[in-house]
């Protein structure tokens, strides 16, 4: 989540830089790809964001797949590794600004 997402992306070769705009305590609509951690959710949800750094999409390695982007600024909101069971979320599923966050966390934990 957030800094962990950025660390995961960096560890696999992506670069992180300043976000297009500061997103501390703000909510955004994000699009969701079909993935088991988003099971039971609509194609778009509202999430809480608390970050000033973000992934540079054009540096994303082939090993990571984008599974969510924000609707308002196009920032990458979630990735998954294509081979390993590794996920990164830029948004905060634990935030009160993420009404569907508990579902995402339950879906992730059910994968273990």
Q: Is 57 a catalytic residue?
A: no
d(CA 71, CA 26): 13
Pairing of strands 87-89, 16-32: unpaired
CB 81 within 8 A of CB 63: yes
pLDDT of 103? 98
Q: Is 9 a catalytic residue?
A: no
Of 12, 21, 2, 18, the C-alpha closest to 59 is 12
pLDDT of 20? 87
Query: Of 39, 44, 71, 94, which one is the catalytic site residue?
Result: 94
pLDDT of 111? 80
What rounded mean pLDDT belongs to the chain?
A: 96
Place of tokens 């608390």: 50
pLDDT digits (tens, 9 = 90+) for 14-24: 999 999 899 99
- Give the start-to-end residue ranges of the domains of the chain: 3-110
d(CA 50, CA 80): 20
Section 84-101 average pLDDT: 97
CA atoms within 13 A on the CB side of 28: 25
d(CA 81, CA 49): 22
pLDDT at 52 over 80: yes
C-alpha dihedral (45, 28, 32, 2), degrees to nearest 10? -120
CATH for 3-110, options being 3.30.590.10, 3.30.930.10, 3.40.50.880, 1.20.58.340? 3.40.50.880
36: its two tokens: 């088991």
pLDDT of 101? 98
Query: Of 9, 51, 75, 92, which one is the catalytic site residue?
Result: 92
pLDDT at 46 over 90: yes
């Amino acid at each position: 989540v957030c800094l962990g997402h950025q660390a995961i992306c960096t560890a696999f070769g992506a670069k992180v830089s300043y976000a297009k705009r500061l997103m501390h305590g703000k909510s955004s609509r994000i699009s969701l790809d079909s993935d088991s951690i988003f099971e039971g959710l609509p194609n778009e949800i509202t999430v809480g964001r608390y970050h000033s750094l973000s992934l540079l999409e054009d540096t994303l390695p082939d090993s990571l797949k984008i599974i969510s982007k924000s609707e308002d600024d196009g920032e990458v909101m979630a990735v998954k590794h294509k081979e390993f069971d590794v996920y990164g979320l830029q948004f905060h599923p634990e935030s009160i600004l993420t009404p569907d966050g508990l579902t995402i966390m339950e879906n992730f934990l059910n994968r273990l």
